[in-house]
Chain A
Amino acid sequence: MAEASRNPRVGLFVTCLVDMFRPQVGFATVKLLEQAGCTVEVPEAQTCCGQPAFNSGDRETTREIARQTIAAFDGFEYVVGPSGSCIGMLHYYPDLFEQNDPWHARAQDLKSRAHEITSFLVDVIGFEQIAASFNHKITYHDSCSGLRQLGVKQQPRKLLSNVDSLELEEMEEAETCCGFGGTFCVKYPDISNRMVSNKTEFAAATDADTLVGGDLGCLLNMAGKLKREGRNIEARHVVEILANMTQEPAIGEQAYDLGKPA
């Protein structure tokens, strides 16, 4: 475990999908961080990690967004986000700048402070006293960047094992890509569809009623497919369960009390 101050000041990297589609994932992350003793702030100057530009080959736009993100999170002891993919992108920032560019060192510094939420709780700050209950059988999808770039595998499982009444049944090929891939899913829709169909098939082969993961992109993809196929499996971000914030409907389920869209 890295040495951490007792009440570290943490900058929340919201991620665009959480901001846009599922704000409670952001609030659940804040709640967990606060339970772990952190002081959480949300820098106004953040937007997106830049991954769409990075993976589309637009290095210049990526660099500009990276500089903006680096500056936005200056001074925080840690930068934490509910996504292995977006935090993984922050970890690519040093590659965007030449060694002698001052931004390279700043990017390196950000990288050393940036963590995916479950890995932050378990590996960095050592917080595992989860106060939550979820009376469901779940299965867990390991999102690619978190798994292979950041080594997120046991951390969410460790935390979930402390949730009351929750049972985890692993599905086959939990580590295989769901076919989201950012712009991939709209550039190659047929292939993406095959990949997500395989995924929902594997999830349905378990007795789980909830599919859980740590990245909203993958979850939107899988939830959308589960809904379209009419399967009886709901999808949730892992932090909703860990923060005991599951009274709201799962991803893509109806009956939101939205009031008037404003």
Chain B
Amino acid sequence: MDIKSPSFKENSKIALHDANLQKALGNLKAGFPTKRAAAVARMPEFEELRDEGRDLKNHILENLDIYLEQFESKVVENGGHVHWCRTSDDARQTILDICQEVGAKTVTKGKSMVSEEINLNEYLEENGIEPVETDLGEYILQLRQDHPSHIIAPAIHLNLEDVSEAFHEHHNRPKSDDPAVLMQEAREMLRKKFVAADVGITGANFFVAETGSTIIVTNEGNGDLTQTLPKTHIVITSIEKVVPTLEDMTLFLRLLARSATGQEFTVYNTLSTGPRRPGDQDGPENFHVVLVDNGRSDMVGTELQDMLRCIRCSACMNHCPVYGAVGGHSYGWVYPGPMGSVLTPQMIGIENAGLLPNASTFCGKCESVCPVRIPLPKLMRHWRENEFEKHLSPAATRWGIKGWGFFAKRPTLYRQLAKTSNWFMRTMAGDKGKITKLPLAGGWTDWRDMPAPSGKTFMQQWKNGTRPVAEKQENAE
């Protein structure tokens, strides 16, 4: 996927004027925050569960190497293979090698953001292998040569008409705008692909050290067919998703479903533990787990370690007013919203992604709904500091802050500056009480008026001992 994060501002401007996108984003609130709130309200111990989730994740991250090695030995014991991939390139090449080894022509794919992260589909296509997305949202996007704009509802930026159009064009069927008909169409098309696929690739929401299992949670069941029908099952996932035991996994399943879709439990929770055993009715003959690092291990032991707690529920973006205004594509890479604004700079470099951690009012809503209590605003601020230290912040910002800081550190001069600015704005406003165009503040006055100061500065009045308003009031009483 091309990196478009450096043009975040242009992207978002276009997004704000895209009527179709805005219509689609309008569904976000009813689809996610409302349902989450209801699910949380039904579970009085939810806040304690969040604490447990945070603590357990912290424990895992402190012992990451131990659990990963335990997982590997269990997978091998079960007859599977684990591939350690430090970079995206390693991961892509590893998967291609496995596919070529079994002579694969088509692969079916369950939904996986890590596969987006490593640009897997393009790579397989370039090498003559056809990847078929089987998650309905991802399938729609693949037909449209589009990319996910959300980590669990990848096609949230589209409307019914867009889907209807895409299906009509690619399925060679009469155009329909009936969701049930469209769904049936997708099932028919995908059924053939499921049966024909040589390799099935899925992600993993978690993987379990004590058993060597991986798990995917889906609401469509497409993942089950992807991983059980082909002869080879490849799981692509990232190192921080390990959990010690099956019981630990259930804690995160409870947090995940409620935080993501407001469900008590996701419809399909499917565990894969090694290849088909003698006597098994079904299952793949080969089982591979591709563990992707891609910058994650560099976060361990730093302030960014907290980000590795993320269980990819999407609550942060579902509740983010910035995401809600501009949608996921504006962020210009794989992971959008607050979690993306922290992860993306790590993966594509702060020099490319600096606008993302700045695109937040620090309203704190994301942190308040995060199931594992990731301090997202704090981590976005970490990137701003990193940017500032590396002199990557725009010159206007740097000089603006330094210049303002010069005064803020000198109370007497600061008083003078406040007094002068106050006088200037009152003069600009005249008797109108507001300013409609203010030099150097076009970002403000293009869209809203600037209320004028209602009098001399507080400090001036206080020092003069006038306390005019207060005294007037006292007299009036």
Contacts and interface: CB of A to CB of B under 8 A. Distances in A.
The yes or no verdict on A and B being binding partners is yes
B467 A27 contact: yes
Given A19-B418, A52-B401, A186-B441, A191 B359 contact: yes
Interface string B111-134: 000000000000000000000000
A58 interface: yes
B451 A21 contact: yes
B397 A31 contact: no
Q: Which of A68, A191, A255 counts the most chain B CB atoms within 10 A? A: A191
B389 A57 contact: yes
Interface in A222-236: 223-225, 227-228
Contact of B363 (A46, A144, A253): A144
Contacts of B44: none
Contacts of A28: 469-470
Contacts of B16: 190-191, 194
Given A20-B422, A42-B462, A177-B363, A47 B381 contact: no
Interface in A164-196: 175-177, 179-196
Given A20-B457, A47-B414, A61-B402, A249 B361 contact: no
Nearest to A176: B321
A24 to B, nearest CB: 4
Given A55-B384, A181-B363, A23 B473 contact: no
Given A191-B325, A193-B447, A26 B458 contact: yes
Contact of B451 (A68, A182, A220, A244): A220
Contacts of A198: 321
Given A224-B450, A249-B433, A61 B386 contact: no
A4 interface: no
B208 to A, nearest CB: 34
A68 B388 contact: no
Contacts of A102: none
Given A31-B473, A55-B381, A254 B453 contact: no
Nearest to B477: A244
A185 B362 CA distance: 12
A20 B469 contact: no
B458 A57 contact: no
B448 A19 contact: no
Q: Which of A47, A55, A180, A183 counts the most chain B CB atoms within 10 A? A: A47
Contacts of A10: none
Contacts of B459: 14, 19, 42
Contacts of A183: 397
Interface stretch (B167-175, B185-193, B251-259, B405-413): B405-413
B7 to A, nearest CB: 13
A247 interface: yes
Interface in B131-187: none
A145 interface: yes
A176 B364 contact: no
B469 A228 contact: no
A24 B451 CA distance: 14
Contacts of B461: 23, 27
A176 to B, nearest CB: 6
A221 interface: yes
B30 to A, nearest CB: 13
Contacts of A52: 401, 404
B431 A144 contact: no
B451 A252 contact: yes
A56 interface: yes
Interface residues of B, number: 77
B472 interface: yes
B454 A224 contact: no
Contacts of A195: 321-322, 325, 361
B363 A249 contact: no
Given A188-B9, A247-B476, A68 B453 contact: no
Interface string A235-262: 0000000011101110111111010011
Contacts of B393: 56-57
B418 A191 contact: no
A137 to B, nearest CB: 22
Given A20-B418, A58-B388, A148-B363, A258 B457 contact: no
A148 to B, nearest CB: 4
Size bracket, chain A contacts: 35 or more
B317 to A, nearest CB: 14
B358 A187 contact: yes
B359 to A, nearest CB: 6
Given A190-B12, A195-B321, A243 B447 contact: no
A243 B16 CA distance: 41
Interface string A19-40: 1111110111011000000000
B446 interface: yes
A252 B433 contact: yes
Interface in B1-50: 9, 12-13, 16
Given A47-B408, A61-B409, A247 B472 contact: yes
B199 to A, nearest CB: 42
Given A56-B384, A247-B476, A50 B13 contact: no
B457 A23 contact: yes
Given A186-B444, A227-B449, A252 B434 contact: yes
B457 A19 contact: yes
B325 A194 contact: yes
B346 interface: no
A5 to B, nearest CB: 24
Given A225-B447, A249-B433, A31 B470 contact: yes
Given A31-B470, A57-B384, A245-B470, A254 B321 contact: no
B197 interface: no
Q: Which of B9, B386, B387, B404 counts the most chain A CB atoms within 10 A? A: B404
A51 to B, nearest CB: 9
Contact of A21 (B12, B384, B402, B453): B453
A223 B218 CA distance: 46
Given A194-B16, A227-B434, A177 B361 contact: yes
15 contacts: A22-B453, A23-B455, A45-B411, A46-B411, A55-B362, A58-B385, A65-B405, A144-B365, A145-B362, A187-B397, A191-B322, A193-B447, A196-B448, A224-B448, A228-B448
Interface of A: 14, 16, 18-24, 26-28, 30-31, 42, 44-48, 50, 52-59, 61, 64-65, 68, 144-145, 148-149, 175-177, 179-196, 198, 220-221, 223-225, 227-228, 243-245, 247-249, 251-256, 258, 261-262
Given A53-B404, A61-B409, 10 more contacts: A30-B470, A52-B401, A176-B321, A180-B361, A190-B13, A191-B325, A224-B450, A248-B454, A254-B433, A255-B431
